[in-house]
């Protein structure tokens, strides 16, 4: 086999390997995306639960303060019943009224925190449902990954081994060119020369669709053991046997 034929064989096997890998890679990317979304929702849930704890604690503190003020009011009223002078009575009355105002403020604060806890709990209930739904999506995505591994596994190993054997036929320098172009063009290291009009010598690169100089066509057809590249995109050019024969016949 010529270098061009060996490169084409390697190209076909490389394409198969990339195709098999892409299926597994795509499944793994989907699984990772779903897991990332789940982590984000669970973090949000954790923040809401911490917020609820703080709100509940603040409500309890305000209620405790209100109860303590209420106890002070009772004590002041008992003192009012025991005093004998109007001055003492008036002072205690002012104190009781002030305490009532403070109690009202504490009760308002407690009520605000209780209302906030109710709203936060509603949000928690919603997020918990989202977590459950997202866990199902993560589980399904993980199942897809395992199924892809099973489906691709043996076949991928086989094709990778065939590609490795095919690569051994290629000279080191030529293989380096192939690998570089495959990396740069996402696996499309080779491009077929497409005949547009044989009489007018019009041929284009199947990779970038640009017109090719006739010398590139001649080089590809007449030098099967050399690499000829597209001057525009740099891909390795190849021609179908029937086109080479037709060109030679011309």
Distances, alpha carbon 133 to alpha carbons 11, 26, 42, 98, 127, in Å? 43, 22, 12, 53, 10
Q: Determine how many CB atoms are found less than 10 A away from the CB of residue 106.
A: 20
pTM: 0.59
Q: Token pair 């597209």 is at which residue?
A: 230
- What integer pLDDT is reported at residue 248 of this predicted model? 66
Q: How far is CA 172 from CA 183, 185, 191, 224, in A?
A: 16, 20, 21, 17
What's the pLDDT score for residue 150? 86
Instruction: Spell out the domains of the chain, with CATH numbers in brackets.
Output: 3-168 (1.10.287.1490), 175-249 (no CATH)
pLDDT for 129 equals 96
- In this predicted structure, what is the pLDDT of residue 184? 95
Distance CA 206, CA 24 (A): 28
The whole-angstrom separation of Cα 177 and Cα 11 is 12
Burial class (CB within 10 angstroms; exposed 0-12, middle 13-18, buried 19+) of 191: buried
Yes or no: say if 27 and 144 are a contact pair by the CB < 8 Å rule. yes
Stretches where the chain sits below pLDDT 50 are 250
């Amino acid at each position: 086999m010529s270098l061009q034929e060996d490169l084409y064989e390697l190209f076909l096997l490389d394409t198969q390997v990339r195709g098999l890998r892409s299926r597994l890679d795509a499944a793994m990317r989907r699984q990772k995306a779903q897991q990332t979304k789940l982590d984000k929702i669970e973090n949000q849930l954790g923040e809401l639960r911490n917020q609820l704890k703080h709100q509940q604690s603040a409500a309890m503190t305000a209620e405790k303060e209100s109860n303590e003020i209420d106890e002070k009011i009772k004590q002041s009223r008992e003192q009012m019943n025991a005093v004998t002078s109007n001055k003492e009575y008036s002072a205690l009355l002012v104190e009781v009224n002030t305490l009532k105002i403070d109690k009202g403020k504490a009760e308002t604060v407690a009520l605000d925190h209780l209302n906030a806890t109710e709203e936060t709990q509603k949000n928690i209930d919603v997020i918990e449902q989202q977590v459950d739904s997202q866990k199902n999506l993560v589980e399904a995505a993980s199942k897809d990954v395992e199924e892809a591994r099973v489906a691709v596994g043996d076949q991928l190993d086989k094709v990778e081994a065939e590609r490795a054997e095919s690569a051994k036929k290629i000279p080191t320098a030529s293989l380096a060119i192939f690998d570089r172009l495959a990396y740069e063009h996402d696996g499309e290291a080779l491009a077929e020369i497409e005949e547009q009009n044989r009489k007018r010598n019009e041929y284009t690169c199947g990779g970038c669709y640009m017109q090719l100089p006739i010398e590139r066509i001649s080089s590809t057809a007449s030098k099967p053991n050399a690499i000829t590249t597209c001057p525009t995109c740099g891909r390795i050019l190849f021609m179908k046997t029937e086109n080479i024969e037709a060109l030679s016949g011309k």
